[in-house]
Structure 1
Amino acid sequence: MVKSILSIVLFGFSAGAVQAQDTLQVQGTSPALYISHVVKKGENFYSLSRAYGLPPKEIAAANKVNMEQGLQLGRSIHIPLTAANFSQKAGAAGKPVYHKVTDKETLYRVSVNYNKVPLDNIRQWNNFSGDGLKKDSYVIIGYMKAAGVASEPAPKVEKVKEKALPVKEAAETTVTLSPPPPPPAKDPVKKEPETHPVAEETTPAPAPAPAAAKPAAANSSADFEQLYDQQTNSGKKADTEKGPGTWFKSNAVGKYYALHNTAPRGTIIKVTNPLNGKSVYAKVLDVIPQMKANAGLIIKLSDSAMQALGSNESRFYCELSYEK
């Protein structure tokens, strides 16, 4: 009886709020991703459950520990990253989970290793403009969304607020614009419509706006073509290759990317569809993964290039040209 009372009292002390670790570093490989938590004084399965958003039994099972045995002080516990407590969506919020970059690691390889998180999401979370990674740097690959973790401010939360503010301001301006209509009935407002110069100024302004938006995509693709000409001396110093290719999913707009086994990263490859003569210029991100489905392929292109090449086949025959 005394032991049961003591256990209840101890549980009451240990049931206090537990804060997740300051820096969350991902470990393991897809789909068995996890983070490590070192048990501190007063922590138990229930407090860890509240901090990391997972059922106590699931944490115990992941560590092959009987819940009745409790947790040992200083022990490293695996906290699984699942759909319940971990998000890699574009609008994810909470506490960032980091990956430490290893030597010669690419952004594409990080994406593949961690649930194939979209490259554009990684770029947005880390404010990347390109695909280069520096050894020993830390890259955000998702966010913990547990209640105990989300209470701490995270970079992503701030970005969401910054984007939300302009929308609210716009809403407020529309509300403030609605009251002015009553005064137009007065004489001073009648004088304003008579001033036609205002209309003349507004007509030229919209014209440049759409013109600037369209070239953005075209220029980005043209950049790769210019790089190709520089690398190959306008095609004079180029190797050619013929064979089957296929596609991979990408959110890139206006640019095409490729996986190739021999061309170094950053090489621009000219890919031609011999059936219709259409060509695209794609930048090499990494090598083609060694999988049975990729056997015999000479290239994998981002799916945005599919329409540009005029192909709708899962595999297609193509001709490649790139720097020797």
Structure 2
Amino acid sequence: MVKSILSIALFGLSAGVVKAQDTLLVQGTTPALYISHVVKKGENFYSLSRAYGVPPKEIAAANKITMDHGLQLGHQLHIPLTNANFSQKADASGTPVYHKVSEKETLYRVSVNYNKVPLDNIRQWNSFQGDGLKKDSYIIVGYLKGGSGATVAAPAPAPAPRKEVVKNEPKEQTPPAEPVTPPATEAPRKEVKKEAEARPVTDTPETAPAPAPAPKPAAPVVASGDFEKLYDQQTSGGKKATTEKGPGTWFKSNAVGKYYALHNTAARGTIIKVTNPLNGKAIYAKVLDVIPQMKSNAGLIIKLSDGAMQALGTTDARFYCELSYDN
């Protein structure tokens, strides 16, 4: 009786503890597909079952251990991907599961390896046409459906860090907020003409014609330098930086010469260093708000202003990137 009560209590306490990795990567080949999970403090078979939508016994069987054996901290588990918790339908939703493209790999080969998922579904999920794939890029091959009462997604626990997320959830048009930067609003309007050459970025419609000729050539250098200095201050030269890897996308911005971002955990005003591992290019972007919780944003770790995306040298709707910031 006492053992049963303790099991129920432990199950309740650990149900909310499970947290998947930053990006869920599919492993294995049809029909034995799985994702990896590193056991963390407080996790057990039941909490993993709720998070990944797989019965506890199936998790134990997939890892050739018994329920009585328990889980070891730091141990890497195989979480089976079955029809119960993994969907590859065209209208699938949930947490995206990715495949890392190897050299000379084709879209057809990816389809065959992962349950012969229709090629059109892969193109739709990743917003691209044709069959060409880039080495080391990440593409969605299906979606992990949440367990009963739990949603598993590393990028998804966005609401927790900030209370104001609730106010911003319905708004996909968050970008209009990014042009409102402290330097522009604090400058006296009467002195705009005098400072036109020194301040290329302005939000005031009446004064727009005066600074128009100057901003484009000078702003990128100044803005990048300012944000890079702030990044060094916030991270103590990169020593206190938190790293994150995963897919990103972009939004249209009216800001000139400065790069902005939407991120789920970094506080507003945080400067994030964003690197494109495909070409080594990096930019520094200022966090304006969180990523709106919408189906189209599922699995994203960052949304960048269009100017930042261009500076990274990518034109893809979704692109893989590496982040570094103070958290």
TM-score, normalised relative to structure 2: 0.44
* RCO higher in structure (CA 8 A, sep ≥6): 2
